[in-house]
Each structure stands twice: as structure tokens, then as C-alpha cells.
Amino acid sequence: MNNRKQILKNMKKERKLRNSYVEDNENIITRFVGTIFGVLIVLVISYLLIGIFVTKTIKFGKDKEEVTVATTDKSTILIGNTFNQKEEEYLVVIYDMNNKTDKTIETWLTYYSGKHTDTTIYKVDSKNKMNSKYIVDSDSNKEAKEVSELRVIDPTIIRIKNGSISEYIEGESSVKEMLKN
């Protein structure tokens, strides 16, 4: 019987040890999570204080709005304005102005305008939706007298003299050749 009492005592001790071990593990996990949380709070507070007082990148309240000035490119027109510019003679160059892969027409246009500084050049973006009803794949109208008759192929150069077409050049190779001279 004595032996049995001793075994029961030993079992109780083992149970207590197991329970204290489980409690210690739970206590360690709780302390670890608390420490991580505390470090994060200290980092956030440090970030805010440095941002507010040192670098001044964090501001409260309304900032003054920056005023941006809009600039307009007076050399870019809609194709509907081809015949009604103020100069007596000018060029209207119709091409895809946003073509990221082929900038050769833009390059030759810059070259031409540098050589012929007295010539006014107006650019028309052929991909602009407002110009789409005038852009065709074939059967262009080189003899148009007014805007409603105008049908052009991309790219095209039209020389306007006294409100009517005096020269009409279409097709990429012809346009590039004209701009080279």
C-alpha cells in the first residue's frame, strides 16, 4: 500500500510538472507576441515623430493647392480647321502623332520646319476621334474645296494657299520625301 501511495504521489508531481511546463510555454508565447507588438508600436511612433518634426513629410490639415498652368500647342489643330487658319499659305500635316514605334515623320517635320522657318505648319493627329470621319484607307479627295468634302489617307501633307488646296501629298514615302527638301 505504501508503494501505491508513493506511485500516486509521483503521478501528482508529474502532472504538476506537465501543467507548469504548459503554462511556461503559454507564458513564453504571450511574452513574445507582446514584445513584437511593443516593438512595432515604438517603430510606428518613431516614424510618425520623425515624419512630423524632422523631415516634415507628414502634415495635418489642408495643403495649399498647387496651381498648374495649362499650355496649348497652337500648331496642333483638328482636321475640320484645315481651311480656316489666319495665314494665307500654310502646311497641314496629317499623321499619327502618338506612334511610339515610328517617329520618322515627326523627325522629318522638325527638320523641315528648321529649314523653312517662314512656313507655318499645322499638325493634325489622324488617330484623334474628332478627325476619324475624314481619314480613309483609299479614295482620298485631293480636290476638296471645303471641309465636308475632305477625305485623306494617313499620312498626308496639304499645302493651303488662300483658303484652298494648292498641293496635296499622300503616302508615307512621298510625305518623307517632301519633308526632306
Closest CA to 122 of 149, 83, 93: 93
Q: Output the pTM of the full model.
A: 0.59
C-alpha to C-alpha distance for 167 and 161, rounded to whole angstroms = 9
**Residue 27: how many other CB atoms lie within 10 Å:** 11
pLDDT of 144 strictly over 60: yes
pLDDT tens-digit readout, 50-90: 988 888 888 877 666 655 555 556 788 999 999 999 999 99
**Per-chain mean pLDDT for the chain:** 85
Structural domain containing residue 88: 79-180
Q: Which of 3-12, 24-33, 68-77, 146-155 has the highest mean pLDDT?
A: 146-155
pLDDT of 22 strictly over 60: no
Q: Are residues 98 and 173 in the same domain?
A: yes
Q: Are residues 47 and 100 in the same domain?
A: no
In a domain, 68, yes or no: no
